[in-house]
Chain A
């Protein structure tokens, strides 16, 4: 089977850096994706790691270690608008079944 673990919530201060971790267990593995979802909205794609290492997109970076079945999303220079839920997701080999974690609720305080 497949499962993902991520913290249920994280709180940080505006302007700070926050890291959201994700560990996964899958039968086969293509890569790790991250999505952002604001309250009442739809998930939107943030980043994807298919290979080990760091991917940077503006203030957001994502990291993957396939040997550790672990990844994280790093948010820098936090802004109030970053308050949202963040989901990691994996797609295992053998199909197009994408499995999402339960999500991490990020609260950014002034």
Chain B
């Protein structure tokens, strides 16, 4: 089965600074890749997804992610973080076998 690793459990950035959240996956073929965000006490909301084509994917709220096959990575980026971006972020990998695996999550704290 596929697996997902989010190496950073917790990241703190200053408001206005750039952000990169890491996601590495293990899967033999090209996976379906997702980033979800979870605000406190809420369910998950999709930020963006990659299935095929252009490896740089744009999402909502100014986020983007880049699929790098050679590195088995799908890192999430934002050029300028806002205080409202404080949340938990989950990378997920889907395979064609009706299996979806989520990473353990990265909690983002934004300093004023």
Say if A and B assemble together: no
- B: residues with CB less than 8 A from A are none
